[in-house]
Amino acid sequence: MTSPRTAMVLAAGLGKRMAPITDTMPKPLVKVAGKRLIDWGLDALENAGVERAIVNTHYLADQLDMHLATRKTPAILVSDERKELLDSAGGIINALPQIGSDPFFVINADTFWIDGGRPNLVLLAEGWDDARMDILLMIAAKGQATGYDGRGDFNMSAEGRLRRLEAGETSPYIYAGAAIVHPRIFAGAPAGKASLNRYFDAAIAADRLYGLPMNGLWLTVGTPGAIGEAEAAIATAGQGIHG
């Protein structure tokens, strides 16, 4: 496929685990290695050829608006959720008129990684198969992640098909906060709060949720204590850094 030219950046969350830093600023503006979290992601989108990014805002939205106004590329469209926080899928559904009808990137505003070769978003676009997929997730193995101590998110077949973990099951595979999504999955969806997990499950039921293993290192920065670990990984990696 042609690499998506549009992206949705999920930036409206409250960032409660990052307190007390987020008492006075939204989490996407927290700095790691001198760069704000949202800029790591926006720079990666720019490097992958994305021309416009829709960014949803809610908590301390004025600060995000001011920062986003300083960026030239990609072009930023703000999807204002000040009145109601719509959750991951609800925020996308609210922005569908701006997103359009083609597959698009979705990234979390606090997602970034160190590419281990070619840019991971480029690899994700090359891995997209419209005939088989509705959603393609970037997947990290636990050994590629800093700041993560969970049980994993999915099991993944040799072909990349994903399924949920059963009770008591563990997996080395983690959703790394970046995906390609086809907007057809939201056809007829009502406005309001909704989680992307609902759409992940629907895609699993239809055998249309896939994962693509990323290269390099995924940096998880969910708490103040994780910032130093991420910065150490960045310092070690040197020039191989992309947001």
The domain that holds 224 is classified in CATH as 3.90.550.10
pTM over 0.75, yes/no:
yes
What is the pLDDT confidence band of residue 222, given thresholds at 50, 70 and 90?
confident
Q: Which residue has the tokens 């983690």?
A: 174
Return all residues near 131 (Cβ < 8 A) that are at least 6 apart. Answer: none
Distances (CA, A) of 80 to 31, 91, 132, 179: 23, 9, 33, 22
Q: Assess if residue 31 is contained within a domain.
A: yes
Q: What is the pLDDT of residue 172?
A: 93
Task: Kindly state the average pLDDT of the residues 59-87.
Answer: 94
d(CA 26, CA 42): 16
Q: Assess if residue 198 is contained within a domain.
A: yes
Q: Assess if residue 64 is contained within a domain.
A: yes
Q: Assess if residue 242 is contained within a domain.
A: no
Residue 91 has pLDDT above 70, yes or no: yes
Q: Which helix (H) or strand (E) holds 164?
A: strand 162-164
Q: Assess if residue 133 is contained within a domain.
A: yes
Average pLDDT value for the chain: 93
Task: Kindly state the average pLDDT of the residues 164-179.
Answer: 93
Q: Assess if residue 154 is contained within a domain.
A: yes
- Our count of domains for the chain comes to 1
Burial class (CB in 10 A: 0-12, 13-18, 19+), 24: exposed
Task: Kindly state the average pLDDT of the residues 194-223.
Answer: 95
What is the pLDDT confidence band of residue 26, given thresholds at 50, 70 and 90?
very high
Q: Which residue has the tokens 């039921």?
A: 205
Q: Assess if residue 1 is contained within a domain.
A: no
What does the block give as tokens for 63?
């600060």
Q: Among 100, 88, 99, 107, which Cα is nearest to 41's?
A: 107
Q: What is the pLDDT of residue 243?
A: 45
d(CA 243, CA 230): 12
> Using the 8-state DSSP alphabet, how is residue 161 labeled?
B
What does the block give as tokens for 198?
């609902």
Q: What is the pLDDT of residue 1?
A: 64
Q: Which residue has the higher pLDDT, 102 or 237?
A: 102
Q: What is the pLDDT of residue 145?
A: 87
Residue-range definition of the domain harbouring residue 146: 6-237
Torsion 201-210-170-153 (CA) sign: negative
Residue 105 has pLDDT above 80, yes or no: yes
Q: Assess if residue 49 is contained within a domain.
A: yes
